[in-house]
């Protein structure tokens, strides 16, 4: 019995070759009301208004114009795997429907498959198996041989994430690695696997003992390997294809294998799939064929399903969609992307922390499950980024603060390498702080904006696109068991402060006012007057340096200073500070006493104790840990202090920035 409240998702069927994997059905049913194609066709009038998403599995349901026209409330199509060549992206875009796939879930399994075919074809594993198992075999020939893999040359065509994973594996076989890709990888990445870039495909083909196709099918890569290219390969070479059948001119390949132009081929993909039973490729001894099983491991297929569910839930809740495919035409699509990752909350199993997850006790680092939260709340981007009430339990506020620190450090580590992806690494962006929503519904990551609006837009797009990858790395690296959706927010405040500081450094304040001169040491006055006059003459040369109205700015600064002084009149700074210190000391003592009194008597370690023990243990080792793990009262105070500082910075900024001409620093 389906839950009618859940969003309706169209699937092909529950059975048959294109049916949803039976191990996944229960997980899917937790979140969606699954409607099979047959149910839809039988009750089209009613269901067409209800179906919000299509879940493709095994290439079905087939997406065409007729189907899209009959689903007016369709929001998203999710597709398993990396390749999108079977979908008409322009048509999907024209219906205003979003698309997401699962490139990261298939990376390792497909790279493994590439290596399996490479090894099997080099060492003639299938033929060997036949000899070993044939009833006619009487002896094993000493002269039956294959090609050595160790130390040979591998040419990878398509150095996306799958290609790169293959290179990592090949390095273990001490292979010399050549690669051809639309874009050259970073030198450090090349060095890490010992790969050499071949700008010319021909060069790679001529030098390689194994040619591995790990590129996606686009009009540019269609029949990339034809008669001419096969002719460039060594007669001892092997061609491995884990991309798509149509990357190769299959007739030319048959001929090359029959006539000894190349030695062997390992093909996980052909066209069509499966090949007609009379196809010559099926008769060749020097070919290993597998039925397009690059991603066919239990682990990958589960990750694919989990990624698809995550995209569906996000799309249906109006959140940024993880792994959303930009709906440009396939002409521009690029090589495979991705590294595997998992969704912990979906299955409810604790992969990251193993045994601990199965224990009854609730740990301090556990956060609420996000499944129902995402499914039932109509939360939006705005809700996730909005500041929530500060009225949280004390225990939560300590926990939140500690988690913020841990997450901030982990996220900063992540952007300093290309682990998230190359685009993120290239941004060179810095995170200024992380703030978990008090109800753990979002992990808000503030990033320091750059000076150009164009750059900021680019950074924002790349970060948003990679948000789910950040989240999954945090989970798989066991930073936290459960990380809420990561949302990236421009830290305008830090940018504004940086800009004001920068401008103050270069600003020409003009001559000091009379008051300043009378108050200072006369000798300093002379010196400063001299320097001022030299500045003045400079400023007369460039009166609107950096687009700033210096005269107006100067007036505002002086007025601000006067107001500040007026505000402090009659108050001795020293005594005010002393008073503040005394109050804060008293507060600390009271809070310490209250904390002692509240300490529970049982042996069960409390979150605070766990946290404080860790804090004590780490104290000597790691100074920064101290910052992240301040005890509650210190944290509370720090928060209050920050708020006060924030307010005064805001006031200062708004009074200063009004005069900054075209620099548009209107808000803090």
Ligand X SMILES: O=C(O)C(=O)CO
Cβ proximity to ligand X: between 332 and 609 the closer is: 332
125 φ/ψ angles, rounded to the nearest 5 degrees = -60, -40
Tell me how far, at minimum, the Cβ of 293 lies from ligand X, in Å. 7
Q: In whole angstroms, what is the distance from residue 440 CA to residue 407 CA?
A: 13
CB 230 within 8 A of CB 259: no
Longest dimension (CA), the chain: 112
Of 326, 323, 318, nearest to 303 by C-alpha is 323
Q: State how far Cα 405 lies from the chain centre.
A: 19
What are the structure tokens assigned to 602, written together? 């049982």
- Compare residues 295 and 657 and give the one whose CB is closer to ligand X: 295
In angstroms, the CA 582 to CA 464 distance is 46
Helices (H), 477-569: 492-506, 514-519, 522-541, 550-568
C-alpha span between 336 and 108 (Å, rounded): 12
Residues that bind ligand X (CB under 6 A): 81-83, 106, 110, 294-295
Two structure tokens written together for 166: 């293959």
Q: Shortest approach of ligand X to residue 107 CB, angstroms?
A: 9
Residue 297 CB, nearest approach to ligand X (Å)? 10
Cα separation, 313 vs 412, in Å, equals 27
356 labelled catalytic: no
Which residue number, 82 or 408, has a Cβ lying nearer to ligand X? 82
- Taking each helix axis as running N to C, give the angle between helix 550-568 and helix 632-657, from 0 to 180 degrees, rounded to the nearest 10: 130
- Residue 172, Cβ neighbours under 10 Å: how many? 10
- Report the nearest approach of ligand X to the CB of residue 125 (Å): 20
Nearest to ligand X of 290, 369 (CB atom): 290
CB 88 within 8 A of CB 63: yes
Cis peptide, bond prior to residue 481, ω within 30 of zero:
no
Q: Which is nearer to ligand X, 106 or 288 (CB)?
A: 106
Is the Cβ of residue 169 or residue 481 nearer to ligand X in the bound state?
169
Strands (E), 350-501: 431-436, 443-448, 486-491
CB of 83 to ligand X, least distance (A): 3
Residue 58: CB minimum distance to ligand X, A: 11
Angle at 180 between CA 177 and CA 186, to 5 degrees: 75
Place of tokens 């920068």: 502
Distance CA 59, CA 13 (A): 12
Least distance to ligand X, CB of residue 407, Å: 31
Phi, psi of 458 (to 5 degrees): -65, -45
Nearer to ligand X, 216 or 238 (CB): 216
Closest distance between ligand X and the C-beta of residue 212, in Å? 13
Q: Which member of 124, 169, 292, 481 is catalytic?
A: 292
The β-bridge relationship of strands 264-267 and 195-197 is: unpaired
Which tokens go with 649? 């910075």
CA distance 274 to 358: 44
Least distance between ligand X and beta carbon 346 (Å): 20
360 carries an active-site annotation: no
SS3 156: strand
Strand arrangement, sheet containing 195-197: 195-197, 176-180, 153-157, 210-213, 238-241, 264-267, 287-289
What six digits make up the tokens of 359?
A: 């224990």
Q: Active-site residue 185, yes or no?
A: no
How far, in Å, CA of 243 to CA of 110, rounded? 9
Catalytic residue among 124, 244, 302, 472: 244
* Beta carbon nearer to ligand X, 35 or 105: 105
* Residue placing its CB nearer to ligand X in the complex, 328 or 610: 328
Which one, 323 or 418, has the nearer CB to ligand X? Answer: 323
Token digits for 666?
Answer: 């209107």
Catalytic residue among 130, 174, 188, 273: 273
| CB atoms near residue 295 (< 10 Å) | 22
Residue 284: CB minimum distance to ligand X, A: 22
Catalytic residue list? 244, 273, 292
């Amino acid at each position: 019995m389906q839950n009618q409240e859940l969003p309706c998702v169209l699937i092909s069927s529950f059975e048959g070759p294109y049916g949803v994997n039976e191990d996944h059905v229960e997980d899917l049913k937790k979140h969606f009301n699954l409607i099979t194609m047959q149910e839809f066709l039988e009750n089209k009038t009613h269901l067409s208004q209800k179906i919000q998403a299509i879940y493709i599995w095994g290439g079905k349901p087939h997406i065409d114009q007729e189907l899209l026209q009959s689903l007016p409330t369709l929001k998203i199509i999710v597709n398993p795997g990396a390749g999108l060549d079977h979908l008409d992206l322009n048509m999907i875009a024209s219906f205003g429907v979003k698309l997401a796939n699962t490139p990261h879930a298939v990376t390792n399994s497909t790279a493994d498959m590439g290596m399996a075919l490479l090894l099997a074809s080099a060492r003639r594993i299938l033929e060997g198996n036949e000899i070993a198992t044939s009833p006619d075999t009487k002896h094993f020939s000493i002269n039956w041989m294959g090609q050595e893999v160790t130390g040979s040359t591998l040419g990878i065509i398509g150095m996306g994430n799958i290609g790169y994973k293959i290179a990592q594996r090949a390095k273990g076989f001490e292979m010399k690695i050549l690669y051809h890709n639309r874009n050259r990888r970073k030198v450090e990445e090349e060095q890490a696997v010992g790969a050499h870039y071949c700008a010319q495909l021909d060069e790679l083909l001529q030098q390689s003992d194994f040619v591995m196709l790990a590129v996606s099918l686009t009009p540019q890569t269609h029949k990339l390997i034809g008669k001419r290219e096969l002719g460039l390969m060594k007669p001892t070479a092997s061609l491995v294809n884990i991309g798509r059948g149509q990357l190769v001119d299959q007739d030319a390949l048959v001929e090359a294998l029959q006539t000894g132009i190349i030695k062997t081929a390992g093909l996980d993909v052909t066209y069509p799939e499966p090949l007609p039973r009379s196809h010559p490729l099926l008769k060749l001894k020097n070919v290993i064929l597998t039925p397009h099983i690059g991603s066919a491991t239990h682990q990958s297929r589960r990750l694919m399903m989990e990624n698809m569910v995550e995209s569906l839930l996000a799309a249906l809740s109006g959140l940024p969609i993880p792994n959303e495919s930009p709906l440009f035409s396939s002409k521009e699509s690029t090589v495979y992307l991705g590294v595997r990752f998992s969704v912990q909350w979906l299955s409810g199993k604790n992969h990251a922390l193993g045994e601990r997850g199965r224990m009854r006790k609730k740990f301090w680092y556990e956060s609420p499950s996000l499944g129902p939260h995402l499914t039932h709340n109509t939360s939006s981007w705005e809700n996730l980024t909005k500041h929530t009430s500060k009225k949280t339990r004390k225990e939560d506020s300590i926990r939140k603060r500690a988690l913020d620190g841990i997450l901030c450090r982990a996220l900063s580590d992540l952007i300093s390498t290309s682990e998230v992806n190359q685009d993120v690494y290239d941004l060179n962006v810095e995170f200024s702080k992380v703030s978990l929503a008090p109800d753990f519904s979002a992990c808000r990551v503030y990033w320091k904006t750059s000076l150009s609006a164009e750059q900021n837009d680019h950074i924002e797009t790349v970060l948003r696109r990679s948000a789910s990858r950040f989240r999954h790395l945090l989970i798989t690296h066991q930073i936290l068991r459960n990380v809420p959706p990561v949302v990236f927010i421009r830290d305008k405040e830090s940018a504004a402060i940086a800009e004001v500081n920068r401008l103050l450094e270069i600003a020409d304040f003009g001559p000091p006012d009379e008051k300043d001169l009378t108050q200072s040491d006369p000798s300093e006055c002379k010196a400063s007057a001299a320097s001022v006059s030299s500045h003045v003459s400079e400023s007369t040369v460039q009166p609107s340096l950096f687009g700033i109205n210096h005269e107006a700015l100067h007036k505002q600064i002086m007025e601000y200073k006067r107001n500040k002084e007026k505000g402090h009149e009659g108050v001795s700074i020293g005594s005010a500070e002393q008073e503040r210190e005394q109050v804060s000391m008293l507060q600390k003592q009271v809070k310490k006493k209250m904390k002692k009194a509240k300490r529970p008597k049982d042996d069960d370690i409390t979150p605070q104790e766990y946290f404080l023990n860790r804090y004590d243990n780490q104290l000597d080792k790691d100074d920064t840990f101290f910052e992240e793990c301040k005890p509650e009262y210190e944290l509370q105070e720090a928060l209050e202090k920050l708020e006060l500082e924030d307010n005064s910075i805001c006031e200062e900024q708004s009074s200063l920035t009004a005069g900054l001409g075209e620099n548009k620093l209107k808000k803090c």
